[in-house]
Structure 1
Amino acid sequence: MKLRFEDHSLRLRLSEEEVQQFAQAGRVAVTVPLGPTAADHLTYALERAENEEFRITHGAGAITVKVPATLAHHWTSTDQNGLTATLMMAQDQPLKILIEKDLDCRH
């Protein structure tokens, strides 16, 4: 899974295998070591959220994008390529979330 931050946006791109894992388990995550200890790692994740709206949580070396279960199911079970939402993080501070299938990626 690829993570990109750019000017008030956060983008996740998932390989076909990661899309399948998300469909089955409801979560896919990547941990990037940024130092020698576990406390120095950054984990970013996509998670299916029951009875919740699109949202993002962060703290203690983790960023999690939560997608409503109905949207997640439709996205993983159809040829729909992406999901998008704009969240207001603070007054006049929108954050655009993009979640995309990266099905041509072969790495």
Structure 2
Amino acid sequence: MKLRIEDNSLRLRLSAEEVEQFATVGRVAALVPLGPAAADSLTYALERAETEEFRVTYGAGALTVKVPATLANHWTSTDQNGLSATLMVAENQPLKILIEKDLDCLH
């Protein structure tokens, strides 16, 4: 899974295998080591959640994007390429979320 952070946006791109894992397990995650200790890392994940809205959580080196189950199930079972949402994380601070299938990816 690829994570792109730019200005006020997060973009996740999943390979076909990761889309399948997300469809069956409801979660896909990646770990980026940023230093020698285990605590010196960033984990980013995509989770299916029983919510009606997209949510983003961050804490202790973990960034998680939570997608409503109904949207996640439709996305993984159709040829729909992407999901998007804009969250207001603070007053006048929108965060754009884009989740895409990276089906041409060969890694």
TM-score by length of 2: 0.98
SS in 2 for 1:31: strand
The structure 1 segments of at least 4 consecutive aligned residues displaced by more than 3 Å after TM superposition are: none
Which residue number corresponds to residue 24 of structure 2? Answer: 24
**Alpha-carbon distance in structure 1 between the residues aligned to 2:70 and 2:21:** 16
Listed as ranges, the gaps of 5+ residues in structure 1 are none
Which digits, 9 at most, give the CA deviation of each residue in 1:33-86, with x for residues without a partner?
101111001000000001342110001000000000000000000000000000
**Alpha-carbon distance in structure 2 between the residues aligned to 1:82 and 1:100:** 4
Provide the aligned length of Structure 1 versus Structure 2: 107
Q: Percent of aligned pairs with the same residue?
A: 81
**Alpha-carbon distance in structure 2 between the residues aligned to 1:33 and 1:52:** 33
TM-score by length of 1: 0.98
SS in 2 for 1:39: coil
Asked if 1:102 is matched to 2:93, the reply is no
Which residue number corresponds to residue 43 of structure 1? Answer: 43
Listed as ranges, the gaps of 5+ residues in structure 2 are none
Judge conservation of contact 2:23–2:76 (CA < 8 Å) in 1: yes
TM-align CA RMSD: 0.7
**Alpha-carbon distance in structure 2 between the residues aligned to 1:82 and 1:52:** 17
